[in-house]
Amino acid sequence: MVRLIAGLVGLFFSGMLLISFVTGAYTAVTEPVAPTVESQFHKHPKKVSFKHDGPFGSYDKAQLQRGLKVYAEVCSACHSLNQVAFRNFEDLGYSEDEVKAIAKGWKTEVPSINPETGEPATRPGLPSDKIPSPYANETAARAANNNALPPDLSLMTKARHNGPAYVYSLLTGYQAVPANLPKESRPGTGLHYNPYFANLNLAMAPPLTGDDQVTFDDGTKATKDQMATDVAAFLTWTAEPKMEARKTAGWASLIFLIIFTALCYLSYRTIWADKKH
């Protein structure tokens, strides 16, 4: 009885699936789906390599400092970095006093209240503060950006496939609209064609416009490519600040476990030595 009912249920489900299959196949043959514009024009991120790649990779602090400079002078005009605190910049190789100075000199001040009147006010940043957002809230951000919301960048490199390369490619990927791009996919007002962006048209105007847009303290020539690479590295750090500790702990654990496994194997063989199995 169980098997009879099961067989009927099986026939029903499998039958419905096969009918679905036949219908689907018929539709696929009679009305072939045209490839989407995105699938034709969208590009995967370019290949970039970083010192922090790979199981032994560690951050290039000079590069992170340059990336911070690009963020501070270019990106931070619109994009927040709200998971990162000024104190975290000590990880980039800055001293406590340098961090204090960076916090104090940050161009957006930290929201606060007037201690006398309780009115909203701002004060200079302290190392313990999170990086203040350029806009007070989402509505203000949208109002200032043609209704597009500049996303927070703290986790951007983890929130996109192949994030660091994506950031680099997006920043260097603006280009002229291809002649064969269908009309409805052409960028409208306030949009910019960028094949590395999922739907090809990006509200962000090209942020890196030319060489020497920022001046690096270490004398590195600020080419567009250099700035894009450095800020991509910096955003990798903001998304994964504990990466170096993670890799170190990983190697220690791995070496420990290989010895553990070897000892267990020997122990296992010894115990089973006189048992055929």
Distance in Å, CB of 218 to another protein, minimum: 27
- Of 138, 165, 166, 169, the C-alpha closest to 152 is 138
132 or 208: CB nearest another protein: 132
Which residues contact another protein by CB under 8 A? 2-3, 6-7, 9-11, 13-14, 16-21, 23-25, 28, 33, 55, 83, 85, 87-88, 126-128, 151, 154-155, 158-161, 163, 198, 239, 241-242, 245-247, 249-251, 253-254, 256-268, 270-272, 274-277
Say how far apart CA 87 and CA 100 lie, in whole Å. 8
Burial of 272 (0-12, 13-18, 19+ CB in 10 A): exposed
19 or 140: CB nearest another protein: 19
136 or 263: CB nearest another protein: 263
Distance in Å, CB of 8 to another protein, minimum: 8
197 or 216: CB nearest another protein: 197
Say how far apart CA 61 and CA 191 lie, in whole Å. 35
Distance in Å, CB of 11 to another protein, minimum: 7
> Could you tell me which residues come within 8 angstroms of residue 93 by beta carbon, excluding any fewer than 6 positions away?
61, 62, 64, 65
Q: How far is CA 237 from the centre of its chain?
A: 10
Which amino acid type is present at position 41?
Answer: F
126 or 177: CB nearest another protein: 126
Say how far apart CA 45 and CA 228 lie, in whole Å. 13
> Could you tell me which residues come within 8 angstroms of residue 226 by beta carbon, excluding any fewer than 6 positions away?
66, 220
> Could you tell me which residues come within 8 angstroms of residue 98 by beta carbon, excluding any fewer than 6 positions away?
89
Distance in Å, CB of 155 to another protein, minimum: 4
122 or 251: CB nearest another protein: 251
Distance in Å, CB of 181 to another protein, minimum: 20
Distance in Å, CB of 179 to another protein, minimum: 27
